[in-house]
Amino acid sequence: MKTYDDYYDGYEEDGKHKSGYAELVSKLQTLYSIGQPIIGEGAQKDFIRLFGAILRLKNILTSFDDFVGNEILSERDFQDYQSVYIDLYQDFTKGKDADKENINDDIVFEMELIKQIEVNIDYILSI
């Protein structure tokens, strides 16, 4: 594992820059304004990749105490972007037949990071 600052601000690995949470969120806000439709399949796939990377980093950063209060996106904004992400997931996966070839192999959805289960006594007993 890297340090909190590495995940938040980015780091160099094998001579390549790995973008951090702050950089990715800034790029998200610049390229994809809330409430504006994402036009074109290329732009939609770019959004999916970018938001997926943000979901992965946010998942890691939530394990650090320093992240509390340093989330750049408000809860409301995050939910708005998440709604767009889920809508795109549904658009790209609807009508999936076993006979058809999947033409979206170049994108990966991070749906498991969106579906976080609250673990409480009821959940444990139900298992």
Q: What is the pLDDT of residue 99?
A: 45
Provide φ and ψ at 109, rounded to 5°. -95, 140
| Lowest pLDDT segment from 39-43, 45-49, 74-78, 96-100 | 96-100
User: pLDDT digit string (tens) for 14-24?
Assistant: 999 999 999 99
Residue 77 identity (one-letter amino acid):
D
Percent of the chain past pLDDT 70, that is, above it, reads: 74
The string over 57-91, giving b where at least 16 C-beta atoms fall within 10 Å of a residue's C-beta and e elsewhere, is bbebbeeeeebeeeebbeeeebeebbebbeebbee
Per-residue pLDDT at 93 exceeds 60: yes
**Residue 10 in this model has a pLDDT that exceeds 90:** yes
Closest C-alpha among 38, 124, 126 to residue 89: 38
How many other CB atoms are found less than 10 A from the CB of residue 116?
A: 9
> What are 23-32's pLDDT values in tens digits?
999 999 999 9
Instruction: Indicate if the pLDDT at residue 97 is higher than 60.
Output: no
Asked if residue 34 lies in contact with residue 77, where contact means CB atoms within 8 angstroms, the answer is yes
Residue found under tokens 């949470």:
21
Q: Which two tokens stand for residue 103?
A: 């033409």
Domains of the chain: 4-91+103-126 (1.20.58.2040)
